[in-house]
Amino acid sequence: MNDKRLTDPAPSLPQRPRFRLTPMTEEDGRQVCGWLYPEPYDRYRWPAWEQMVRQRKEFADPDIRKAQYLAVRDERGELAGYVQLFALDRAIRLGLGLRPDLCDRGYGKEVTLLAVREAAKRRPWAEIDLEVETWNRRAIRVYEKAGFRAQDEYERQAGHGAVRVLCMVWQGEPENSGVHVE
């Protein structure tokens, strides 16, 4: 009996990329401004790069970019996302963005834990938190899987209007995250 399953090699499975954090460059910022998200996530699109530069807004300002932003790169060195680490009085607040074609592919937890580990390295005594709009169940699930728990809910002003957000605080240990960081 000739069983083809025994002689054919196993199909190769796609490898999950390993991500790493690097300083965010101006070119990275330009790329992020060009990312187009599908509805309803399109509200998270950044303004045009030229507008951001004119307003010295966020990562278009070289000083803010250097102090708060990191690029998330895949194993080929390509820009896969960004992380913002915003220092508050007793906390460090995370901001995260993943390239639109990488969303819904299971990478959010890994990127979130990279941000947590970097935040803990920079300010080991600080609480690590983030804000997420209450309607964004996809992001809330990712953050819960990464060890965040909702602590507060409130309304605040965002670039796209008044929004209801959860403030989620990280409850885990970065050393036990199982995430590869270079």
The pLDDT mean for the chain works out to 88
Spatial contact of 119 and 106, defined as CB atoms under 8 Å apart: no
Helices (H) and strands (E) in the chain, counts: 6, 7
Query: Mean pLDDT over residues 154-165, rounded?
Result: 88
Give the global pTM.
0.84
pLDDT value of position 164: 95
Cis peptide before 17 (omega within 30 of 0): no
Sheet holding 161-170, edge to edge: 20-23, 69-73, 79-87, 91-98, 127-133, 161-170, 148-158
Tokens of 58: 């966020």
pLDDT band at 141 (very low <50, low <70, confident <90, very high): very high
pLDDT beyond 80 at 2: no
Tokens of 148: 């965040």
| Residue bearing the bigger pLDDT, 161 or 156 | 156
Candidates 127, 144, 32; CA nearest to 78 is 32
Per-residue pLDDT tens over the stretch 8-52: 444 444 455 589 999 999 999 999 999 999 999 999 999 999 999
Per-residue pLDDT tens over the stretch 144-157: 999 999 999 999 98
Spatial contact of 68 and 84, defined as CB atoms under 8 Å apart: yes
